[in-house]
Structure 1
Amino acid sequence: MSGAGGAGGADGVPAGGGRRLAAPWRRRRPLRTRLALAAAAAVALVAVGVCAAAFFVVRDALYRQLDLNLTQSARLAAQRNPDSGPGTLSGECRFLAAPACAEVVPADPANDPAAPYLLPVAPAARAVAAGRKAPYYTSIVHAGHPARMLTTDYTRGRALQVALRADSVEDALEEAAWWLALTGAAGMLMAGLLGYWVARTGLAPVTRLTATAERIAATRDPRHRIELPPPGPGRGAEDEVTRLAGSFNTMLGELEQSVTAQRRLVADASHELRTPLTALRTNAELLARGERLTAEQRERASLALGRQLREVTGLVNDLIELARDEEPQLLVEEVRLAPLVEYCVGAARSHWPGVSFRVRTEEAVVEGVPARLTRLLGNLLDNAAKFSSGAVRGRAAQGPGAQGRGAEVEVELAVRGGCAEVTVRDHGPGISEADLPYVFDRFYRAGAARALPGSGLGLAMARQIARAHGAELTAEAAAGGGALFRLTFGTAG
């Protein structure tokens, strides 16, 4: 066994059975190169085709003119010699300016003259003389020069052959061929340049898109954008590449908003969790020194620890639901809103005994998930009760369970224009113009709410549930004070 055979096969395949690498010339070329080659090949093919067609058109025109001259020469020869015997009539065709050569050929070779013919005699010429074949033209070489010959009928049993020198025609065709070849070569060169220009110009937005994508991948910064041509009245419709670049910019904008929202969510969650976790650690450390505490202090610390654990658990659960940024796919069914509103108001009365809830309902049926709609209405009612005037004073001053008297929340379910609408109004401090655009943001808490319990996630979750049900949830300042939340469903049965 030779040493070369141990390294690999004769065809270059590794001995281990690995796949052979492609040759450099077989590797896939860049898109710009392929587009330039395709455009150049298309234009070059058209240029070569046009030049070839032009050559054949010129050749046909020159030979048609030469054949017309032969026809006229044959007519003159027949008129001058109406009844000549076989043999040469005139000319030798040895000089370019000489008259046409003419000779008479009999159908029977036995009638040929003793002197040799000046022009070649083919069997087809005998057939023309005998009347079995139509007159025809043929290209010959006579005395070392190109010539064109016409064979036509002369008198009964004889044919007339007339020839003219074709040097001028051949020279003209050769010159035309050279010029057309130069034109074709210039066309192919121009095709290559135009193909490169087309590829460079046409793929410029794609190049910018690629550079932007690579820059984003390197810097992880989605704020970069592709530069687009400014819109103008004379620019016409956008092409596909410009539309692709615009769609890519739109996608980058959505990505930037998503990244910003994610970072803000993480920052806000870290800020909101810091305080309850600190309180939990403090109470846990306090209970760890239980032998130094009285029974009443241990009881108070245990209750505080349990309450803080429930708050942290609720906050984490809310964060998990909001972080999905979409509602889970649950079973959708027809929901009667009037009983659902009554149920949610009843639960809110038990949770806020110091708040008066006034309810007015109509019959309305919508499609949705009852558990999620219950969560949505519960969040709105809790928010309204918390911000009612008496509730604000009671909860802020004394903590949970110490609501003030006289607080009132108005709840109404009505059908307007075929749409079910639920409104929840409180009589609290209301929503300022500065806070109104942010009431549904995660962790946003207005100045009047910072002294109240809560994480600032209830309204954000309510809007997410509403959007999942195709409903619209808005907030506005109520006439006469307080805040008004309006939940509008698309259709109602």
Structure 2
Amino acid sequence: MTGRRGLGGRWVRRRPLRTRLALAASAAVALVALGVCAAAFLVLRVQMTRQLDLNLAQTATQLTHQTRGWGPTAGDTSCQYQAVPCVQIVPSDPAKDPDKRYGLPVSDATRQVAAGHRPAYYTNLTVAGHPVRMVTTHLPHKAEALQVALRSDTVERGVRHAAWALSAIGGAGVLLAAALGYWVSRTGLAPVARLTATAERIAATRDARHRIELPSGPPAREDEVTRLATSFNIMLGELEQSVTAQRRLVADASHELRTPLTALRTNAELLARAGRLTDAQRDRASAALGRQLREVTTLVNDLIELARDEEPQPLVEQVRPAALLEHAVGAAREHWPEITFTTRVTPDSATVTVPGVPPRLARLLSNLLDNAAKFSPPGGPVDAELTLTSGKPGATTLDLTVRDHGPGIAPDDLPHVFDRFYRAEAARALPGSGLGLAMARQIARAHGAELTAERAPGGGALFRLRVPVTEA
């Protein structure tokens, strides 16, 4: 038996989800329909038998007064009329039985009822080939029992008709359950089928632009399957953006690498013919080759860092941004001696610490300072300010602003300053690959911070870094 149940369970599990759902829904509705029919049959049978018992009890009560002077009497043995009861009186003492044979069966229980030692009871029996129901009750003030029997053909016939009718209804209920189960599985799993088809189409074409068609209607009336399809569409949108960004990154990287690699090849070929060059030409080509190698190395390193979307958790530690800013400004002064860097750190922000990776945060600050110095006029100032801003409880932030006094950011360029390889027209003549600000924003997001750009009042560009601070 266990093996058979195991085989049946495996067979069900191997069926498609639509088939299993249809079977489950059909079985549930069929069980309910059969249960209702069975309950209706039992109730109907009990009620019809009860009605027959009431008729017997009323008839026995009436005959109690009519047969007061009869004495022991043998009943009619035929019971040939359905509406006419069979009646007999049985004494408690068998010696007082009449000479005529009893038409209804007499047992020890009948004698006990006659003696008043047992309560009245009902019996189903057959008399002269007819089904009858009999009641045996005690006659008051006498040691006799009154037996009254009525034919139960009508009751049994009604019970049989009810059984056939309820069986037909139950069969129709099972068929309806099967139809409803198929409809429920087909309708309820339609979004799942569309989801599966979309996933298979994406897997076959590798095109994440496909979407699942959603039913029309207000969002408040969406069911679980529709919400699943909506979430899948959102996931597809994110996947499409990721694939697009990846392709754009590869295309932009190949475009940016093409020029320096061509220059590297040219200088390498030139140095290969060093015997034909003068010492000055050879030195210039060697210096250009080294400079281009450093640019390509920097570009490749930036691409590797941009490809990493999160910071390595083992390297996270408590960092004091004020100290990092001081170190980054010192390095920027050495790299940009013609620029005047000024810093302002408020006393309440000087000792604040935040969790982070020190080298990555230092890279973020140096990128912002280098970007500001690159766009500042010679001798122009670059202002860096670190403040602690307290808002609602639990909403304290450490704000770092870096401002230059250059041409500023054009309104058309402002939404794209953090895009990879994006360079505004004013920056295309300047050195760089267009990855510094993109890397700065990625580092900020990896640390749960927010980096924004805006036009500074009075001219120039203003970059603002907001780092959430956990209050002790």
**Structure 1 position 375 matched with structure 2 position 363:** yes
Once the two structures are TM-superposed, the CA of residue 125 in structure 1 deviates from its matched residue by 1.1
Once the two structures are TM-superposed, the CA of residue 369 in structure 1 deviates from its matched residue by 2.8
Q: Which residue of 2 aligns with 1:65?
A: 51
**Structure 1 position 464 matched with structure 2 position 442:** yes
**Structure 1 position 324 matched with structure 2 position 308:** yes
**Structure 1 position 132 matched with structure 2 position 117:** yes
Q: Which residue of 2 aligns with 1:487?
A: 465
**Structure 1 position 388 matched with structure 2 position 376:** yes
Once the two structures are TM-superposed, the CA of residue 454 in structure 1 deviates from its matched residue by 0.8
Once the two structures are TM-superposed, the CA of residue 85 in structure 1 deviates from its matched residue by 3.0
Aligned 1:286-297 pairs, distance under 5 A: 286-297=270-281
Once the two structures are TM-superposed, the CA of residue 76 in structure 1 deviates from its matched residue by 2.7
Q: Distance in 1 between matches of 2:146 and 2:320?
A: 111
Aligned 1:158-237 pairs, distance under 5 A: 158-232=144-218, 236-237=220-221
2:243 maps to which of 248, 259, 274: 259
Aligned partners of 1:338 and 1:362 also within 8 Å: no
**Over residues 212-268 of structure 1, what are the superposed CA-to-partner deviations in whole Å (9 max), with x where a residue is unaligned?**
111111111111111222343xx7442211111111111111111111111111111
Q: Distance in 1 between matches of 2:399 and 2:109?
A: 104
- Segments of 5+ residues of structure 1 without an aligned counterpart are 1-20, 391-405
**SS of the residue aligned with 1:421?**
strand
Percentage identity across aligned positions?
Answer: 67
Once the two structures are TM-superposed, the CA of residue 23 in structure 1 deviates from its matched residue by 12
Q: Output the amino acid matched with 1:413.
A: L
**Structure 1 position 366 matched with structure 2 position 344:** no
Q: Distance in 2 between matches of 1:332 and 1:28?
A: 48
Q: Distance in 2 between matches of 1:310 and 1:197?
A: 68
Mean Cα deviation higher: 299-308 or 74-83: 74-83
Aligned partners of 1:91 and 1:100 also within 8 Å: no
Once the two structures are TM-superposed, the CA of residue 336 in structure 1 deviates from its matched residue by 3.1
Q: Output the amino acid matched with 1:451.
A: A
| Cα distance change, pair 487–145 in 1 and its aligned pair in 2 (3 A) | same
Once the two structures are TM-superposed, the CA of residue 348 in structure 1 deviates from its matched residue by 0.9
Aligned partners of 1:387 and 1:426 also within 8 Å: yes
Q: Distance in 2 between matches of 1:480 and 1:492?
A: 34
Q: Distance in 1 between matches of 2:398 and 2:424?
A: 29
Q: Which residue of 2 aligns with 1:409?
A: 382
Q: Which residue of 1 aligns with 2:85?
A: 100
Q: Distance in 2 between matches of 1:109 and 1:28?
A: 73
Q: Distance in 2 between matches of 1:51 and 1:492?
A: 67
Q: Distance in 1 between matches of 2:344 and 2:10?
A: 80
**Over residues 322-354 of structure 1, what are the superposed CA-to-partner deviations in whole Å (9 max), with x where a residue is unaligned?**
011222225333433333322211211111111
| Cα distance change, pair 136–173 in 1 and its aligned pair in 2 (3 A) | same
Q: Output the amino acid matched with 2:127.
A: H
Q: Which residue of 2 aligns with 1:4?
A: none
**Structure 1 position 474 matched with structure 2 position 452:** yes
Aligned partners of 1:366 and 1:492 also within 8 Å: no
| Cα distance change, pair 492–91 in 1 and its aligned pair in 2 (3 A) | closer
Q: Distance in 1 between matches of 2:63 and 2:365?
A: 116
Once the two structures are TM-superposed, the CA of residue 466 in structure 1 deviates from its matched residue by 1.4
**Structure 1 position 275 matched with structure 2 position 248:** no
Q: Distance in 2 between matches of 1:24 and 1:480?
A: 76
Aligned partners of 2:311 and 2:357 also within 8 Å: no
**Over residues 80-132 of structure 1, what are the superposed CA-to-partner deviations in whole Å (9 max), with x where a residue is unaligned?**
221333232567411224x2111112223333333211112222212212222
Q: Output the amino acid matched with 1:370.
A: P
Q: Distance in 1 between matches of 2:155 and 2:470?
A: 92
**SS of the residue aligned with 1:489?**
strand
- Over aligned residues, Cα RMSD in angstroms? 2.1
Q: Which residue of 2 aligns with 1:300?
A: 284
Aligned 1:388-467 pairs, distance under 5 A: 388-390=376-378, 406-417=379-390, 418-467=396-445
**Over residues 423-478 of structure 1, what are the superposed CA-to-partner deviations in whole Å (9 max), with x where a residue is unaligned?**
21122221111111111111111111111111111111111111222221111112
**Structure 1 position 244 matched with structure 2 position 231:** no
Q: Which residue of 1 aligns with 2:3?
A: none
**SS of the residue aligned with 1:163?**
strand
Q: Output the amino acid matched with 1:376.
A: L
Q: Distance in 1 between matches of 2:65 and 2:314?
A: 108
Q: Which residue of 2 aligns with 1:5?
A: none
**Over residues 15-44 of structure 1, what are the superposed CA-to-partner deviations in whole Å (9 max), with x where a residue is unaligned?**
xxxxxx999956611111111111111111
Q: Distance in 1 between matches of 2:235 and 2:323?
A: 43
| Cα distance change, pair 325–434 in 1 and its aligned pair in 2 (3 A) | same
Q: Which residue of 1 aligns with 2:393?
A: none
Q: Distance in 1 between matches of 2:8 and 2:145?
A: 69
Q: Distance in 2 between matches of 1:32 and 1:252?
A: 24
TM-score with structure 1 setting the length = 0.87
Q: Distance in 1 between matches of 2:322 and 2:149?
A: 112
| Cα distance change, pair 240–85 in 1 and its aligned pair in 2 (3 A) | same
Mean Cα deviation higher: 143-152 or 235-244: 235-244
Q: Output the amino acid matched with 2:200.
A: E
**SS of the residue aligned with 1:88?**
coil
Once the two structures are TM-superposed, the CA of residue 362 in structure 1 deviates from its matched residue by 2.1
Once the two structures are TM-superposed, the CA of residue 56 in structure 1 deviates from its matched residue by 1.6
Q: Output the amino acid matched with 1:181.
A: S
Aligned partners of 1:425 and 1:483 also within 8 Å: yes
Once the two structures are TM-superposed, the CA of residue 481 in structure 1 deviates from its matched residue by 2.1
Q: Which residue of 1 aligns with 2:296?
A: 312
Aligned partners of 2:74 and 2:98 also within 8 Å: no
